[in-house]
Amino acid sequence: MNDDVIIVGGGPVGLMLAAELTLAGVRPVVLEQSPEPGTEHKANALIGQVVRFLDHRGLYQTLGGPGDRPQPTPAFLFGALPLKLSDLADNPLYGLRIRQADLERHLERRALDLGVDLRRGHRLRELRQADDHVSVQVEGPDGDYEMRASHLVGCDGARGGVRKQVGVPFAGFTDPSVISRAAHVAVPPSSISTSTAELVLPSGDRIGLYAWHRTERGAYAVVPYAPGVVMVSVIEWDGPPIADGTPVSIDELRASLSRVLGQDLPIAAPTTPGPHLLRRRYAANARVATAYRSDRVFLAGDAAHVHPAVGAPGLNLGLQDAANLGWKLAAQVHGWAPPGLLDSYHAERHPAAERVTTHSQAQLALMSPGPAITALRQVVAELLETPDATAQITDMLAGADVRYRMHHGTPHALTGRFAPDLDLRVGSRATRLADLMHSGRPLLVDLTGSGHLADLTDAWRDRVDLVTAEAPTPPPADALLVRPDGYVAWALGPDGTDELLDALTTWFGAPGPRDAHG
């Protein structure tokens, strides 16, 4: 066996997965067909639970996060309707402003620092599965070669070849009548009012920056990008037909914006150095792979799911795929994975993708034209004025409504949820639960003060870290068992410790050491 795991695709998801595997003592090889890091403009921010996961790996401040820890965003949008979040008692919607190209650059540097074997300019040609390995034919800069590994993960995007080669259907639909266009364009500097965050149109009308706006002809957003340059996004329903192969242009974007806005906005191609965004795509494109696993081959990120981009959920979904899968694959390679652990990847992440697909389609529908949609928006806007409705929608956008089934019995309220951000004291040192997760290992946090959990769980010490700590403020549980992906596998409640052993066995195998690569 040449390597432990082959990852096809070196975007953010593939790089995150490679880092997770390496932290767990597994040797991944990343095959990325692009010879250079991507510069294409995609996402501009991270939204949701993934921001807290990045904090668990010590990456929040590295990626430009303000402050010493993630803070919830005070406002957001749902289907171009405002969500006021500052009054929520428990706001789970965290954000981190970073361009995807910059995120990928940071994740690549981290992966290389960890010793990941990243092979740029190497393209997967063919894969074959056997009972005990996966073999691949690779086209590299110096010629073709063959590799073997215990497992392979396709992180090669919606059009990638891994899913197609293993024959997993991509269930869903694409509506070619709904077109999204986006570009960086130059506007007259005098048209931007920085004091009011508005763009002044030639007619004297003003439109708000940074947010989606819906009209009876479509939806648009204008976001400042650089001095004199803004990013304009337009979604149009049933616009003029476009001949196959027609390249997108600034003129096409200008005409689409004019139809949706109802008046002309003078825009031009930027004169500043690029690369600049200029893109056309189907906005109503929602598909989820019917299986995230095919024997020894797995799918993650866009290779497993695509959805409308409204609400920016893509990286939250894809990077958490990597977090969920990495430690489970490592457990299998090291020989201590309990039965069903690898199957739990599909069982946990497939419903999460379906949830994102549902709410992103719902948002796109709320942004579509027509008097019936206008009436629906009025009703939804009234509902969003109530704290309960706002909280439910916000949980959904953040992915905080996802609760994994952890083990049998009566679970604590925290079980299956992402671990709370606890301030702790270990000995004389002040720390946080997030700081204790940097190593990527399972963690049992004992806040009981009795020390009895140490003897009870000693047989798992080769794969589960135990930290005895104190909480300056009353914690929501007296002990937590946290999986490497940040989700609580067990929390101490009235049942005592009976279910702890069940949780340890369910997720981290039978007690006792296992040989590496067994």
Residues 291 and 277 in one domain: no
Residues 50 and 164 in one domain: yes
Phi-psi region of 496 (alpha: psi -120 to 50; beta: other; left: phi over 0): left
- How would you classify the pairing of strands 192-193 and 198-200? antiparallel
In a domain, 517, yes or no: no
pLDDT at residue 342 in the model: 97
Place of tokens 């790996």: 57
Q: For residue 377, which amino acid is it?
A: R
Among 336, 364, 398, which residue terminates a domain?
A: 398
In a domain, 95, yes or no: yes
Q: Residue 5, SS3?
A: strand
Structural domain including 134 reads: 5-171+286-398
In a domain, 353, yes or no: yes
- pLDDT(494) > 80: no
- State the pLDDT confidence band at 474, using cuts at 50, 70 and 90: very high
- pLDDT(106) > 80: yes
How many other C-beta atoms lie within 10 A of the C-beta of residue 366?
19
Torsion from C-alpha of 165, 166, 169, 170, nearest 10 degrees: -60
- pLDDT(517) > 60: no
pLDDT at residue 515 in the model: 47
Place of tokens 């009235």: 494
Give pLDDT tens digits for 215-255.
Answer: 999 999 999 888 888 999 999 999 998 988 899 999 999 99
pLDDT at residue 227 in the model: 83
In a domain, 408, yes or no: no
- State the pLDDT confidence band at 3, using cuts at 50, 70 and 90: confident
> Looking at per-residue confidence, does 288 or 449 come out higher?
288
Among 284, 318, 335, which residue terminates a domain?
A: 284
Phi-psi region of 440 (alpha: psi -120 to 50; beta: other; left: phi over 0): left
- What single DSSP character describes residue 497? T
Place of tokens 């242009």: 249
Residues 163 and 195 in one domain: no
- pLDDT(516) > 90: no
Residues 386 and 484 in one domain: no
pLDDT at residue 518 in the model: 38
The domain tally of the chain equals 3
- Mean pLDDT, the chain, as a whole number? 93
Residues 84 and 228 in one domain: no
Q: Where does 44-115 have alpha helices with state H?
A: 50-56, 100-113
For residues 327-342, give the mean pLDDT: 96
How many other C-beta atoms lie within 10 A of the C-beta of residue 503?
22
- Measured CA to CA, the distance from residue 427 to residue 448 in angstroms comes to 14
Residues 42 and 130 in one domain: yes
Nearest of 79, 46, 169 to residue 358 by alpha carbon = 79
Residues 203 and 271 in one domain: yes
In a domain, 409, yes or no: no
Q: Residue 454 maps to which CATH number?
A: 3.40.30.120
- pLDDT(57) > 60: yes
- State the pLDDT confidence band at 273, using cuts at 50, 70 and 90: confident
Of 74-83, 306-315, 371-380, which gets the smallest average pLDDT?
306-315
At residue 18's C-alpha, the angle toward residues 41 and 432, to 5°, is 90
- pLDDT(2) > 70: no
How are the residues of the chain apportioned to helix, strand and coil, as percentages rounded to the nearest 5? 30, 30, 40
- Measured CA to CA, the distance from residue 268 to residue 250 in angstroms comes to 7
DSSP 180-220: EEEEEEE--GGGEETTTTEEE-TTS-EEESSSEEEETTEEE
Residues 18 and 142 in one domain: yes
- Measured CA to CA, the distance from residue 285 to residue 287 in angstroms comes to 7
Among 229, 264, 284, which residue terminates a domain?
A: 284
For residues 431-448, give the mean pLDDT: 96
Contact 408, 42 (CB under 8 A): no
End-to-end CA distance of the chain: 13
- pLDDT(100) > 60: yes
Contact 217, 235 (CB under 8 A): no
Residues 114 and 47 in one domain: yes
Give pLDDT tens digits for 198-213.
Answer: 998 888 899 999 999 9
Place of tokens 């024997």: 295
Residues 167 and 180 in one domain: no
Q: Residue 20 maps to which CATH number?
A: 3.50.50.60
For residues 126-134, give the mean pLDDT: 95
Residues 146 and 265 in one domain: no
pLDDT at residue 195 in the model: 84
pLDDT at residue 193 in the model: 86
Q: In b/e form, how buried is each residue of 295-316, taking b as 16+ CB within 10 angstroms?
A: ebbbbbbbbbbbbbbbbbbbbb
In a domain, 53, yes or no: yes
Phi, psi of 212 (to 5 degrees): -75, 140
In a domain, 405, yes or no: no
Q: CA dist 30 to 2, 77, 327, 411, Å?
A: 13, 36, 17, 38
In a domain, 410, yes or no: no
pLDDT at residue 311 in the model: 85
- Measured CA to CA, the distance from residue 322 to residue 193 in angstroms comes to 41
- Measured CA to CA, the distance from residue 19 to residue 329 in angstroms comes to 13
For residue 327, give both structure tokens. Answer: 């430690």
Residues 167 and 179 in one domain: no
- State the pLDDT confidence band at 513, using cuts at 50, 70 and 90: low
